[in-house]
Structure 1
Amino acid sequence: MKHLTWFIVFITTAALAFQGSGGTTRAPQRVFRLDGGEVTYVVGVNDSGQLQMIYWGKRLPASQEFTTPKSGQSLSSFDMSSNTTPQEFTGWGEGLYVEPDLKITFPDGNRDLVLKYAYHTTSRDELDVVMKDISREIYVKVQYHIDPTTGIVRRSAEVSNRTGTPFTIEQVASGTYHLPRATNYQLHYVTGRWAGEWDLQQQPIHGGKTVLESRRGTTGSQNNPWIMINHASDHDEDQGDVWFAALGWSGSWQIAIVQDAVKGVRVTAGPNAFDFSYYLKNGETFQTPYFYGGFSDRGVGGASRLLHRFEVDSLLPHAPHPKLRPVLYNSWEATTFNVDETGQMALAEKAADIGVERFVMDDGWFGRRNSDHAGLGDWTVNPTKFPHGLKPLIDKVHSLHMDFGLWVEPEMVNPDSDLYRKHPEWVLNFKGRPRTEGRNQLVLNLAREDVHDYVLQVLDKLLNDNDIAFLKWDYNRNWSEPGSPAAPAEQQKNVYVNFTRSYYDILQKLREKHPNLEIESCSGGGSRVDLGVMHLTDEVWPSDNTDAYDRLLLQEGFTYAYTPAVMMAWVTESPTWVNQRSLSLDYRFLSAMQGSLGVGANLNKWTQEDFAAARKMIETYKSIRETVQRGDLYRLMSPREGEQSVTESVSRDGKQAVTFAFLHSSSQLYPFPRIYLRGLDENATYTLRVAHGTMRDDTPQQATGGYWMHHGIDVELRGDLQAAMFILDRQ
C-alpha cells in the first residue's frame, strides 16, 4: 500500500478538542502510529510523560494495536530510568547521561531541563508532539513526517523560548532514533579527504559512543552525515533488516551512535556541539535541520534503493519529476584559468560534435582571475578575455544546440581582490588575530546580512545579464577563525547556524528569481553533499578525483547514500593527474556512464578516433540515461573485495537493465566471475545487446529473467583495466 495511512490510538478517556483541519489534544497518554510504504513507525507517551519509541520496522497489519508504553527500569543508581527509556527527544536533566537532544544554559546559570508531554497535533501526514519543561516556559515541538511511498521518516524539532528572558542553547539535535536491543549490529558509514572521498567503513556497534562529525563549518568529506545499521550476520547485500539515517544539514554536524546500558542503540544527530551555542531571545524559535530515517528488510542494497527513490521523488528540486541530467562538457582541464572568447568557442564546437548538451566554462572568466591568487569576490566579466561580455560566447553555445553554464565560488574572497580591499571585515575572523588562508582565499561571513545581500545581488545580476542555465557552485576550503565580531559577544557562535541558513536562503531566492536555473553543489569535490543541499541543488560533484578506476570505489561509496541521478562523473585526461595511470577512452567512458555523464578532457588533444568513440558512447548513454539515473541500482561485485566491479541498473518500468563490468587485472588464466543479475522479471524474456566488450560464445541472445538471474552471464574480460557493458531489453 503506497498511500499514507495514519493510525492514532488514544489510550485515554479525556475529552478531545479539535482545532482547524487537524486535531489538538491535551491528554496525558497517547500512542501514535505512522505507516508509509512498507514501514511502520510507532511512538507513545509513557507513564512518566516522556515521548518514547515503541516500534520501527517492517509494516504491520492495520489491526495491530499497541499499548501505552512504560518508562524503562532503573538498573541501579548509576543507570536510572531516564537512560534506559528509548526517549525520542530528551532535555539534559532528570539524571540523563546518554546523549541529550537539547541542553540549555539559563541566565541564572541553571542548566536543568526536563521535558514532558504537553499536547499534540495531527494532520494527514504529520505528527507534532509538544513537550514542555516542568517549570519554565520552554516548549519543544517534536515534528514527524512520513513519506507515503518509501516510509522514510523526517524528524525535526522546534525550540520556543517563552521564558521572558534570553537563554543559550549549548547543544541541540533534530531527534533520536532507536533500534531494538541486540548485540550483533554493524555500522556502515563513509570517510575521506580531498580526492579520496566516499571510503566505505564497517564496524561493529558495541558499548559506548561512536561520533561521526564535521567541525569544518560545512558538511566535509572527513565523514558524511549518513549511516546504515544492519546485523553483522547479514552478508548478502540484498537481504536482512537495515536501518539508515541521514542529516539534512550543510554546516558543522554530528551523529552520535550509542549502545546504551540495556543494549539498545540510539542515533542522535544535529548541529555539532563543538564550539557551538545559539543565543535565543525571548519569543524566538530555533528550528533544527531535518533528520531522515528509514528501514528496509532487503539489505543494504534495498536501503540504498529506497533512499535513492526518496531523493529523486521527494527531495530534489522539481520532485517528483526532476529533469534528467544533461551530458555536460567542462572547460577546466583544457584551459584552466586561461579562458577567452576564441578558445571557449572552439571547445564548444568540439563538445557539440560529440553530442554534449551543456557547455560549462570553469574558473578564470572574472575579475583579475589569472591564477588562484586573485579575483575571487569580483564577479564581473574580465574585459580583456571577453571584450564584448559573455553574450557572444553564450550565443555561440546556443547556436550549437547546447545550453550554457558557468563556474562560481560566491562564498569566498581572495585578499587580492577589490571586494576584500573594500570590505576586509566581511570575512570570518577573530578580531586582532591572524586570518588563515586556504588556497589563497578566505571565507565570506554569510551570517552577516550585508554579505548575504551582496552575494545574492551579484549572482542575480549575473543571471539577469546573461542567459545562463547552470551554475557550478564551488567551495574550495573549510573554515578557520570562525568569528563574527560584528555580532554581540553572546551571539557570535550563532554564526555556525546563521551562515548555513543564509546559504540556503540565497539558493532558494535564486531559484525563485530564476526558475529554470540549475545548480551543482561542489566543494573541492564531495565536501558539501548532504540531504540539506540536495533539496536546493540539481546535482553534486562527488570528487575532484576523476581517475576512472578510483571512481569505481568513490562512486560505490557515494551510492550507498545518494542517487546516481545527481552523481556527476566526468571523462578526463589519461594519464590522470591523480595516479599517472593510463586508461583507455572506452574504460573512462564506461566508468563515468554509471552516473550523470560529463566530459572534462582537453578536446584540443583528441584524435579523430577519440571523437568517433566519444560520439558512439554518448549516443549509447542517452539511450540508457533514464535507467542509470533513476533506476534501481544493484551493486553485484565490489571493487573493494577483489579485482572485479559490477553494477546493474534496472529501469523503473522493468523494461531495461544495464550492466557495467570492470576488471582491474586478470591472472593465471582465471576467467571473469559469472555475473548473476537481479531485479528482473523471472518469467519475462529479455534480449541481450552488447554495447562494449564480448560475451562467451554460448551466451544466448534471448533468455528469461530467471535465466539471467540464476544461470548468469559470462563476460570475456582479460588483461588489465578492461571494461564491458551490456543491456537487456524486456520483450
Structure 2
Amino acid sequence: MRCNSNSFNGATDASRVYQLIVTCLSTILMFLIAPNPMNAQKTNAPIRFDKQTQVFRIDAADVSYVFGINEKKQVQTLYWGKRLNDADPFPAPKSDPGLSGFDTSVNTTRQEFVAWGSGLYIEPDLKVSFPDGNRDLVLQYDSHTIEGRRLKIVLKDISRDVYVDLEYQIDVVTGVLTRSANVENRTSAPLTVEQISSGTWNLPRGDDYRLRYLTGRWAGEWVLHHQLVQPGKTILESRRGSTGDQNNPWFAIDHEGDGDQDHGDVWFGALGWSGSWQISIEQDQIQQIRVAGGPNSFDFGYRLSPGEQLKSPDFYAGYSHDGIGGASRLLHRFEISSILPHGPKPKLRPVLYNSWEATEFKVDEAGQESLAEKAASIGVERFVVDDGWFGQRSSDRAGLGDWYVNPVKFPHGLKPLIDKVHSLGMDFGLWVEPEMVNPDSDLYRKHPDWALNFIGRPRTEGRNQLMLNLARPDVRAYVFQALDKLLNENDIAFLKWDYNRNWSEPGWPAVAPEDQKKVYIEYVRNLYSILAELRAKHPQVEIESCSGGGSRVDLGIMRYTDQVWPSDNTDAFDRLLMQDGFSYAYAPGVMMAWVTDSPTWVNQRNLSLEYRFLSSMQGSLGIGANLNNWKPEDFTTAKSMVAQYKHIREIVQRGSLYRLISPQNGSEQSVTESVSEDQRSAVTFAFLHSSQMLYPFPRIYLRGLKTDSMYRIAALNGKLSPGTPDIASGAFWMQHGVDVELRGDFQAASFRLDVADR
C-alpha cells in the first residue's frame, strides 16, 4: 500500500494535505475491504502452501487434506476429512512428544511417509539395505513444487544421497487423492529396496473404527467383510504374483454404528497394482489409525544401482460424509472419469455374445457363423470367439503360446467369419491368454527357459500350463509381436485377455541372483507397457481383463482395459451378492455380467430367463448361453430384454448407484437403483428370493432424485402395486416410496422414472 502525493503538485499546501489524507484513508479502506489477490488465488487453487506455518492444504469437492513440515523436517499429517473453511487456521505442525521410552516420537508422530530407521516400530513406507550392512534410513523434507493439481515433495536421508519424491494429485470433482513415491539412489553404490509403499493415510484418532474389505475365491469372489479396527495390524494382501481374489486391494473405514449407505464419515482407498500387493491397517498405542499400501514385501528385493529409481504404484483414496454409498459413488465417478481409457466419457459397453458355453474348444467356422446369426437376431452388438481357435488347441492341455489360427478349424483364416459377423451388424472379438504357455506347445519346446522357474526345481503347472516370464525383454517382445500381428491381419475390435493361474517358482535365472526378485515389478511393468502399446497402435481395440473370474481386477489394470470379468460364476442369484460386493470398489459399468443357461453348472438352480437378464442388466450386459438350445420364445424374450437394456444402459453404466436393499447376510430381497448424471432418469431392479407368510415385498424408497422435479414412473418388468401414481415428485418417490408386486420364488421386477417435461 502506498499514499503518493506527487500527483497533487499543482494544489495549495492546505488542499494538498487534505487531498492526501482523503486519498490515504480511501486506500486503507479499499485495502481492508477488497479481496486480496494473493488470497483469492490461494482460495481457488486446489493445493496451497503457507510459508509461515509450513502447512500444505489440499481442498477439492467436499474434502480437505492438510499436512505440514514439523520442526524435525518430517512431513506430518494434520487433517483429512470433510472440507473446512478456507480461512480455518492450522498452526505450524509439532512432532508428537512420544508416549514413553518404548514408544518414541518417531512412532507416534503421524507422518505421510516414513522410512525404517531411528527406532521405528510401526509399518514403514520404505526399508532399504546398503552394501556396508547399514539399514538405517531417516528421511527429511528437502523441497517441494506445486503445479496446478499436482504436488511433489522431495525427501532426503540425513546423510546419504537417497531421495524420495512424494507425489500427490487431486481430482477436483471427487476429492480423490492419488499418491505415489519414487525412490532414487544417488549414492555411488547399489542399494536394495526391501519394502516400499505409496505412502501412509492417517485417519483421525479413535477407537471405534470399522474396516470393510473384499475377499473371495474362484467362483466365489467379492465377499464383503467388516470388522472392528483394533490395536495391532490387519494385513490385506496377495502373494500370488497378481491381484488375486483372496483379497482385493480396496478398503473402506468408518465409525462403527455411526453410518449407513447414505450417512456418516467414510475413508476409502484402492491400490492401483496388478502384482503381489499388501495394504496394512494399523492402530497404534495411542489409537491412531494408519493405512499403508504397495507391492508385497514378501520375497521382495529391488536392487537399485547408482542413478536408478523405483516408483511405487498409485494409491488412491478419498473421503465421504455421505456413508459407504456416497464413498462408492465417488470412487465410481473417479474411475469413469480418471482411470478408464477414454475418460471422462468412456464408450458405453456394447451388448456382447461369447460362444464358450455353446462350443467350448470345439470351435469352427460354420458353427461360429451359425451362432453369430442367432446372436444378431436378438440385438447383440459384439460377437466373441472364446478359447480353442489357435494352435493345436483342442483342450486346455496344449497350444497356449502358439498364436496362429488353427488351419483345420478355420481353413481360410478368421476373415470369412469376421466378414460374416460384420455383415450381421456386429463387431468381432477374440479370447487370448498371452501370458501363459502349455508344455505341449511349439513355443515351450523352443523356449523352455521363457517360463518362470528355479533351475533344477520342478515346474508347477496350474490348469496344465506354466507362466511366461514377462519380465524378460525377449518374452515381452514375443507377446507384443504375436498380438500385434493378430490385430494387424484381422479386423478385431475386442480382446478378452485371460489369465488362469497364479505364480509359482518365480525365478529369473537369466539375470544375476541379486536382481532376480525384480521379477515382481518388471513383470507388471511389461504387462502394462504391452497393453499401452497395443492400445496406442490399435486404438479401435477394446480389452477385457479376465483372470479365471475376478482375480485381476484393480485400478492398475483398469487404466489399460475397458471392462473386467468379475467371476466365472454366472448363476444369476449368486451374482446379486457378488455384484453387490464388487460395486463397493468398482463401477457397475466395467462389470461384465452374462446371461447363461439355467440351471448353471454352479448350483443346478432353475431361474427364468427374465430373472437372469435383470440380474445381468445391473452391469454391462453379456450373453453366454448356448443359443443352439434356445426355443423360439427364448429368442423373443431375449430380443425384448436386449432392446430394453439399450434404453437404460447409459443410466446403469454411467449413473450413480444406490443400494436400496442389500442382498448381504442372507437377505430375501435385493434392490438397486441407478440415477443418471443429470438426475432426470432412474432405473430400479428388485429381486425376491422367496416370499413367506403373505408378507408383501418391502416398500422401495428411492434416492438421488431432485425433490422438486416431477417424475413419470413406468414398469419395465413385473408390476407396480395398484394405486401407484403415474407422476409424482422426486420427494414423493423418495419419502413415500414405491410398491412392487413380487411373490413366489426367484422373482424380479424393474421400473424406470423420467422427468415429466410439461
Question: What are structure 2's unaligned runs of at least 5 residues?
Answer: 1-39
Q: Work out whether residues 430 and 484 of structure 1, in 8 Å CA contact, stay in contact via their aligned partners in 2.
A: yes
Q: Work out whether residues 237 and 249 of structure 2, in 8 Å CA contact, stay in contact via their aligned partners in 1.
A: yes
Whole-angstrom CA distance in 2 between matches of 1:96 and 1:397: 62
Q: 1:48 aligns with which of 66, 72, 78?
A: 72
Output the amino acid matched with 1:228: A
Q: 1:707 aligns with which of 732, 742, 748?
A: 732
Q: 1:230 aligns with which of 240, 254, 261?
A: 254
Q: 1:341 corresponds to which residue?
A: 365
Output the amino acid matched with 2:730: G
TM-score under structure 1 length normalisation: 0.97
Report the Cα offset of residue 7 of structure 1: 4.6
Q: 1:9 aligns with which of 39, 49, 62?
A: 49
Deviations 1:381-416 (A, max 9, x none): 000000000000000000001000000000000000
Aligned length: 714
Report the Cα offset of residue 235 of structure 1: 4.1
Q: Work out whether residues 44 and 51 of structure 1, in 8 Å CA contact, stay in contact via their aligned partners in 2.
A: yes
Deviations 1:157-211 (A, max 9, x none): 0100001111111011010000000111000000000000000000000100000
Q: Work out whether residues 4 and 149 of structure 1, in 8 Å CA contact, stay in contact via their aligned partners in 2.
A: no
Q: Work out whether residues 350 and 603 of structure 1, in 8 Å CA contact, stay in contact via their aligned partners in 2.
A: yes
Q: 1:101 aligns with which of 116, 125, 128?
A: 125
Q: 2:98 corresponds to which residue?
A: 74
Q: What are the residue-to-residue correspondences of 1:23-62 with 2, within 5 Å?
A: 30-62=54-86
Output the amino acid matched with 1:719: G
Whole-angstrom CA distance in 2 between matches of 1:166 and 1:364: 47
Q: Work out whether residues 47 and 148 of structure 2, in 8 Å CA contact, stay in contact via their aligned partners in 1.
A: no
Whole-angstrom CA distance in 1 between matches of 2:699 and 2:314: 42
Q: 1:645 corresponds to which residue?
A: 670
Whole-angstrom CA distance in 1 between matches of 2:49 and 2:580: 43
Q: Work out whether residues 545 and 565 of structure 2, in 8 Å CA contact, stay in contact via their aligned partners in 1.
A: yes
Output the amino acid matched with 1:140: V
Report the Cα offset of residue 339 of structure 1: 0.3
TM-score under structure 2 length normalisation: 0.93
Q: Work out whether residues 11 and 68 of structure 1, in 8 Å CA contact, stay in contact via their aligned partners in 2.
A: no
Whole-angstrom CA distance in 2 between matches of 1:672 and 1:339: 45
Output the amino acid matched with 2:693: Q
Q: Work out whether residues 157 and 163 of structure 2, in 8 Å CA contact, stay in contact via their aligned partners in 1.
A: yes
Q: 1:602 corresponds to which residue?
A: 626
Q: What are the residue-to-residue correspondences of 1:348-497 with 2, within 5 Å?
A: 348-497=372-521
Output the amino acid matched with 2:527: Y
3-state SS of 1:689 partner = strand
Q: Work out whether residues 4 and 147 of structure 1, in 8 Å CA contact, stay in contact via their aligned partners in 2.
A: no
Whole-angstrom CA distance in 2 between matches of 1:118 and 1:652: 43
Output the amino acid matched with 1:273: S
Q: Work out whether residues 4 and 35 of structure 1, in 8 Å CA contact, stay in contact via their aligned partners in 2.
A: no
Whole-angstrom CA distance in 1 between matches of 2:345 and 2:195: 37
Whole-angstrom CA distance in 1 between matches of 2:366 and 2:46: 61
3-state SS of 2:664 partner = coil
Q: 2:699 aligns with which of 674, 681, 687?
A: 674
3-state SS of 1:119 partner = strand
Whole-angstrom CA distance in 2 between matches of 1:565 and 1:397: 25
Deviations 1:439-483 (A, max 9, x none): 000000000000000000000000000000000000000000111
Whole-angstrom CA distance in 2 between matches of 1:360 and 1:74: 61
Whole-angstrom CA distance in 1 between matches of 2:317 and 2:128: 26
> Are 2:337 and 1:310 aligned?
no
Output the amino acid matched with 2:705: L
Report the Cα offset of residue 4 of structure 1: 6.8
Question: What are structure 1's unaligned runs of at least 5 residues?
Answer: 13-28
Q: Work out whether residues 5 and 36 of structure 1, in 8 Å CA contact, stay in contact via their aligned partners in 2.
A: no
Deviations 1:639-674 (A, max 9, x none): 114100000000001111100000001111111111
| The 10-residue stretch of structure 1 (36-45 or 134-143) with the greater mean CA deviation from structure 2 | 36-45
Whole-angstrom CA distance in 2 between matches of 1:399 and 1:116: 65
Deviations 1:300-350 (A, max 9, x none): 000000000000011110111110000000000000000000000000000
Whole-angstrom CA distance in 2 between matches of 1:334 and 1:631: 33
> Are 2:147 and 1:123 aligned?
yes
Q: 1:22 corresponds to which residue?
A: none
Q: Following superposition, which runs of at least 4 residues in structure 1 exceed 2 angstroms of deviation?
A: 3-12
Report the Cα offset of residue 10 of structure 1: 2.9
Q: 2:317 corresponds to which residue?
A: 293
- Work out which of the two has the higher radius of gyration on C-alpha atoms and give 1 or 2: 2
Q: Work out whether residues 4 and 36 of structure 1, in 8 Å CA contact, stay in contact via their aligned partners in 2.
A: no
| The 10-residue stretch of structure 1 (697-706 or 526-535) with the greater mean CA deviation from structure 2 | 697-706
Report the Cα offset of residue 60 of structure 1: 1.3
Whole-angstrom CA distance in 2 between matches of 1:482 and 1:342: 42
Q: 2:741 corresponds to which residue?
A: 716
> Are 2:727 and 1:687 aligned?
no
Q: Work out whether residues 278 and 494 of structure 1, in 8 Å CA contact, stay in contact via their aligned partners in 2.
A: yes
Output the amino acid matched with 1:413: V
Q: Work out whether residues 47 and 149 of structure 2, in 8 Å CA contact, stay in contact via their aligned partners in 1.
A: no
Q: 2:223 aligns with which of 196, 199, 203?
A: 199
Deviations 1:121-171 (A, max 9, x none): 111111111000001000001110000111100000010000111111101
Q: 1:173 aligns with which of 197, 201, 209?
A: 197
Q: 2:345 aligns with which of 300, 315, 321?
A: 321
Output the amino acid matched with 2:337: D
Report the Cα offset of residue 700 of structure 1: 1.2
